[in-house]
Amino acid sequence: MKEEELYRILEGKICTLERREKSTEDRKTYDEVFDKNTLLTLYTLISKGVIQTLDFPISTGKEGNVFRATDEKGEPVAVKIYRTSTSTYKNLTKYITGDPRFRNIPKDRRGIIFLWAQKEYKNLARMYNAGIKSPEPKKLLKNVLVMQYIGCEEQPAPMLKDTTLSDAEKSYKSIKMMMKKLYEEAQLIHGDLSEYNILVEDEECFLIDVGQSVVLEHPLASELLLRDITNITRYFKKLGVKINEKELLDYIRGQEQ
Ligand SMILES: Nc1ncnc2c1ncn2[C@@H]1O[C@H](COP(=O)(O)OP(=O)(O)O)[C@@H](O)[C@H]1O
Ligand SMILES: [Mg+2]
């Protein structure tokens, strides 16, 4: 299928098709996200009824972009698209190597990025199934991940860093419990836990962004757990919550006195 034909079919279904009117900078981003193969993947997801429309961008990150989309039932969903063109894929392999779930690691960029998307999908499923507040994974196809949308009709839930908590102590406690559940039940270390990867909706905290999360036996596990603990304690100490890092570590690992 020719790219123009694809565009014609997808016309009106993907917000970015109005890209011709956008600034050069926006257009550059869009062209990077929506390469021909990604358009084909979106086309497949639309034909299968997983999504109906891709409505508007929520975020442009280092490795991918997140969009608000609408599913077949007319409900909002979040779609994370990993860029296969400009993604800094070289940094990704260190979070994959050593994970017993992925023994054959591809050498090419696209292969690594597809695997990375798979890793995020699997981690999300483990986290969600362990009863941790997080987006429910719905579908993964190549570099496109469809998950539950966290937010209200008007806007996505804000990141923790952009909110004012009414009860910081209570939010800290819920995050602490989620970190323990993640360790004990999902057997994962988040690996990039901070006020940037926690969304707050109606005072409830949701953990997101688990592509880099590693299984407990991964060589980077301890280092990443300590980093997560440092980030979380730094943030909540600033809000006046009394925290002892060592106690938090023992609590997560089930070694409290
Ligand atoms: N399920 C979701 N529902 C609503 N917003 C989301 C969802 N997932 C991600 N976002 C938004 O997109 C941003 C980037 O997503 P994230 O998974 O953290 O990717 P990255 O940091 O790698 O770019 C988040 O900070 C959040 O604002
Ligand atoms: Mg993030």
pLDDT tens, residue by residue, 40-85? 999 999 999 999 999 999 998 888 999 999 999 999 999 999 998 8
Strand partners, 156: 151
Whether ligand 1 lies within 6 angstroms of the CB of 158 is answered as no
Q: What is the DSSP letter of 41?
A: H
Question: Ligand 1 in contact with 99 (CB < 6 A)?
Answer: no
C-alpha 209 to ligand 2 mean position (Å): 5
**Ligand 1 atom at minimal distance to the Cα of residue 211:** 22
Question: In sequence order, which residues have a C-beta less than 8 Å from that of residue 141 and are 6 or more positions away?
Answer: 41, 44, 45, 50
Taking each helix axis from N to C end, the angle separating 168-184 and 245-252, rounded to the nearest 10 degrees, works out to: 40
Atom number of ligand 1 nearest to Cα 209: 17
pLDDT of residue 16: 62
Task: Give the chain's mean pLDDT.
Answer: 92
Is the CB of residue 149 below 6 angstroms from any atom belonging to ligand 1? Answer: yes
Q: Which tokens is 250 given?
A: 């023992």
- The SS3 call for residue 150 is coil
Query: Is the CATH number 3.30.200.20 carried by domain 3-148?
Result: yes
Note the pLDDT tens digit of each residue in 151-181: 998 899 999 999 999 999 999 999 999 999 9
What is the mean predicted confidence (pLDDT) over 226-244?
98
Ligand 1 centre from 134 Cα, in Å? 11
Question: Chain centroid to CA 187: how far?
Answer: 18
**Active site amino acids:** 192, 209
pLDDT score for 19:
54
Asked if pLDDT for residue 239 goes beyond 90, the answer is yes
**Spacing, Cα 135 to ligand 1 middle (Å):** 10
Listed in order, the ranges of the chain carrying CATH 3.30.200.20 are 3-148
pTM of structure: 0.95
Q: What CATH number does the domain located at 160-252 have? A: 1.10.510.10
Find out whether the beta carbon of 78 lies less than 6 Å from any atom of ligand 1: yes
> What is the percentage of the chain residues whose pLDDT exceeds 70?
94
Per-residue pLDDT at 114 exceeds 60:
yes
